[in-house]
Chains A and B, each alone.
Chain A
Amino acid sequence: MSDVSYREISRNGLWDNNPALVQLLGLCPLLAVTGSVVNALGLGLATMAVLVGSNAVVSLIRNRVTDAVRIPAFVMIIATFTTCTEMLMKAYTYELYQILGIFIPLIVTNCTILGRAEAFASKNALIPSIADGLLMGLGFGAVLLVLGGIREVLGSGTLFANMDLLFGPVAANWSIQVFGSGYSFLVAILPPGAFIITGLLIAVKNALDTRAKQRRDALKARPVKGAKRVRTTGVVH
């Protein structure tokens, strides 16, 4: 399919249509597990894996499944990938699996995944669907990561603590003590802090978008009459 632009897929997944900041999907795990970077990264990667897998399979079968059984079939696919991810995490990152607990099986209920299956993968070819899953997953994971980072620094005063849960013993001393030991700011670790910081992130994104739009409009509105030559440097008055 040639009408799918990868540029647009990337823009949509990472920014314009970001699952967490714009579509506001998957907020439950987003708020629950972003107390630290390692938790956020773990869930982000797991979600991305499920998203890529389900998008790929949904795309492959998109012309063979009738509308009547489309949704149940999609749910079955997503549940399968989630359960496989859960077993793999249990096998290779057991401690992280224990920390993330119920939120790994709950990836099934993350609306982002069924949403992408419905809105994109069921209408597009295999490769664009995989790209869409990957970038939507990246967009979701990036928000998780930023939120996890902010909450970990504000709440516990550390960054990248316990990264060995995900990367093995190599990462045991990646932890950075940002504030003195014994520092802790409770609100940031608790769910209300997650809400507040998510709100701030959305506000920042909207402010950036508004600024970009104003700049674009200003450029468009500028009259070009009398412009006889093209200037490539400096400011045109």
Chain B
Amino acid sequence: MLTKSIGFNSLVLAAFALVTALLLASTYLGTKDQIAESERQAAEKALLEIIPNERHSNDMLVDTLAIPQQFWSKLGLHKGGEINIARNHGKIEAVIVPAVAPDGYSGDIRLIAGVNMDGTVAGVRVLSHTETPGLGDKIDLKKDDWILSFQGKSLTEPVSSKWQVIKDGGEFDQFTGATITPRAVVTLVKKVLEYFAEDRPRILKLAVPASSATKQQEATDE
């Protein structure tokens, strides 16, 4: 009697598992392409904000180069990462470097920073953060245009000792009530510039030749 009921109930549950698995599988197959497309668009949107379409002619999402392991800890990337390369008709214009600041007020601040080949900042955007709403979240362009103050800065302008928030004697604004968040971002952007300065020769040498990059692009276009 007992074994019979156990057997029957197991069969019922198994049938359920089968039906729900089928339903999940079909939803997955139905949305897979759309999800991939949405993810691609979201990634591309951030890149395009830094390097707009006028400044490059390649597909920055496929034109990438892995960051050497010795720089991972400097940029806060535990699992490594890739830089995206922006080219205009074959000539490298700028690179976009991902970086993570572990020293924000709460949790990691993930950002991408574009660096022009002359070493100036093309733009910085915060991708995700969990800073206090209303205080630290002004690093997000949706809330405040503070992040734009990096534009055009380089390791020589301002000089190294001025790459700090005003409170620490530097020249970047902090926010009222929040110093830790902007401090973390300023430090990280400086690190990105330092990384770029060191890695620049390798980038110029190793970056996928323009011809094959365009070929790749054509392949994806088809």
A residues near B (Cβ < 8 Å) are 35, 64-66, 68-69, 72-73, 76-77, 79-80, 83-84, 87-88, 90-92, 94-95, 98, 155-156, 162, 184-186, 189-190
Contact = CB atoms under 8 A, between A and B. Distances in A.
A234 B34 CA distance: 63
A87 B39 contact: no
Interface in B15-54: 16-17, 20, 23-24, 27-28, 31, 34-35, 38-39, 41-42
A190 B135 CA distance: 11
A92 B42 CA distance: 12
B8 A66 contact: yes
A189 B13 contact: no
A20 to B, nearest CB: 22
A186 B16 contact: no
A92 B34 contact: yes
A73 B38 contact: no
B70 interface: no
A94 B46 CA distance: 14
B13 A87 contact: no
A92 B30 CA distance: 12
B108 to A, nearest CB: 14
B23 A80 contact: yes
The prevalent SS among residues of B at the interface is: helix
Given A87-B28, A91-B31, A35 B20 contact: no
Q: Bin chain B's interface residue count.
A: 20 to 34
B194 to A, nearest CB: 30
Given A80-B20, A94-B39, A95-B42, A72 B13 contact: yes
Given A84-B23, A189-B133, A90 B38 contact: yes
A155 B133 contact: yes
B133 A87 contact: no
B212 interface: no
A64 B28 CA distance: 28
A90 B13 CA distance: 29
A49 to B, nearest CB: 12
Interface of B: 5, 8-9, 12-13, 16-17, 20, 23-24, 27-28, 31, 34-35, 38-39, 41-42, 128, 132-135, 142
Contact of A184 (B39, B41, B128, B134): B134
A202 B133 CA distance: 26
A72 B13 CA distance: 8
Contacts of B135: 186
B9 A80 contact: no
19 contacts: A66-B5, A66-B8, A66-B9, A68-B5, A68-B9, A69-B9, A77-B20, A79-B20, A80-B23, A83-B27, A84-B24, A88-B27, A91-B35, A91-B38, A94-B38, A98-B42, A155-B134, A156-B134, A186-B133
Nearest to B31: A91
Contact of A73 (B12, B31, B41): B12
Contact of A76 (B8, B20, B31, B34): B20
A88 B38 contact: no
B24 A80 contact: yes
Contacts of A90: 31, 35, 38
B35 A87 contact: yes
A186 B132 CA distance: 9
Contacts of A185: 134
